[in-house]
Amino acid sequence: MSSLAEAPIHDPGFDSEEAHKRKQYMVDLFVVQAKNYDFHDDVFGLYAHRFRMRTVLKIMGRFLKDRKHVDMLDLACGTGFVTFNTARNFDNVDIEAFDISPDMLAVAKERYEKYFKGRNIKFWRGDAEVPFGEEKYDLVTTSFAYRNFANKGIATENVFNALKPGGLFIIQDLTKPERHPMRGLYIFYMKYILPVLTGILGTEKSAARWLYKSAMMMPTNGQIVKLMESKGFEKCQYKSLSLGIACVIWGFKPEKSE
């Protein structure tokens, strides 16, 4: 069944003008946003992302349960929301985390120095569309960022290559509800309420527009599962959260066959 919200996944290509523009916009947007990012996220998201994180931690927990040690990558880590939540909840995880925005990374590093020194967490600047290793990680997460990648196919393939056999990839993001009336209410909130809130809080003006546009352009959960499978992932599943405005999608790199 083709759903209300379905739109073809469009990968413009690594060197396309669209991809370059998108990345530059990310860097520019978060210059202004970085310092207040977490506070604004709480206000706009009505704290919901903190509840949604519990779903991600549950999926991680099942995966980590029988493992002594896990190497994790938090892809597009921003200010480290998932990085630090993971560190707080699991002590058998060493974490690498990267982001394209130097300003978001600066906040993450500051937080690390203040609260997490002693944990094995490394931050660096990087692009999800540039390969970041071969069979290095047991677990890769990307949270509220997949929507922003211009070339989702390239980023997904990079994750597949960077995972060890048997490794787990978890995507958490905003999306758009696929059915009315929630879809109508959501569009109303994003189009008319959010710009007012961002105005009051002094958020970068284009942020509300981008949030709306990127959520609308987000492929459906089913389409993302198909994309993951086309890159080699197996046992892919998804869960709609917060009445369909967010999703968690996950899948595994197959174990090596003998």
Q: Tell me whether residue 124 or residue 192 sits nearer to ligand SAM (CB atom).
A: 124
Q: Which residue of 84, 132, 149, 160 would you call a contact of ligand SAM, by CB under 6 A?
A: 149
Contact 208, 190 (CB under 8 A): yes
Region binding ligand SAM by CB under 6 A among candidate stretches 73-81, 114-122, 182-190, 213-221 = 73-81
φ, ψ of residue 8 to 5 degrees: the values are -60, 145
Cβ distance to ligand SAM smaller for residue 5 or 77: 77
Tokens of 60: 């991680």
Give dist(CA 92, CA 65) in Å, integer. Answer: 10
Residue type, 80: G
Backbone angles phi, psi at 190, to 5 degrees: -65, -40
The least distance separating ligand SAM from the CB of residue 181, rounded to whole angstroms, comes to 27
Q: Which stretch binds ligand SAM (CB under 6 A): 4-12, 115-123, 138-146, 177-185?
A: 138-146
* CA–CA separation, 192 and 152 (whole Å): 29
| Residue of 219, 218, 224, 220 lying closest to 236 (CA atoms) | 224
77 makes contact with ligand SAM (CB under 6 A): yes
Of the residues 82, 139, 215, 248, which one makes contact with ligand SAM according to CB under 6 A: 82
Task: Work out how close the CB of 128 gets to ligand SAM at its nearest, in angstroms, rounded to a whole number.
Answer: 4
- Provide the minimum distance between the beta carbon of 69 and ligand SAM in the complex, in angstroms, as a whole number: 23
Binding status of residue 78 toward ligand SAM by CB under 6 A: yes
Nearer to ligand SAM, 95 or 104 (CB): 104
Give least dist CB 152 to ligand SAM, A: 10
Taking contact as CB under 6 A, which single stretch among the options 58-66, 76-84, 88-96, 116-124 is the one that binds ligand SAM?
Answer: 76-84
Residue whose CB is less far from ligand SAM, 4 or 201: 201
85-104: which residues touch ligand SAM (CB under 6 A)?
99-101, 104
Residue 161: strand, helix, or coil:
helix
CA distance 218 to 5: 9
128 near ligand SAM, rule: CB under 6 A:
yes
CA distance 78 to 143: 9
Minimum distance of ligand SAM from residue 131's CB (angstroms): 12
CB atoms within 10 A of CB 245: 21
Residue 119 is given by DSSP the state: B
Q: Letter for the amino acid at 218?
A: M
Question: Is the backbone peptide bond immediately before 181 cis, with ω within 30 degrees of 0?
Answer: yes
What residues make contact with ligand SAM under the rule CB under 6 A? 23, 26, 30, 76-78, 81-82, 99-101, 104, 127-129, 143-145, 148-149
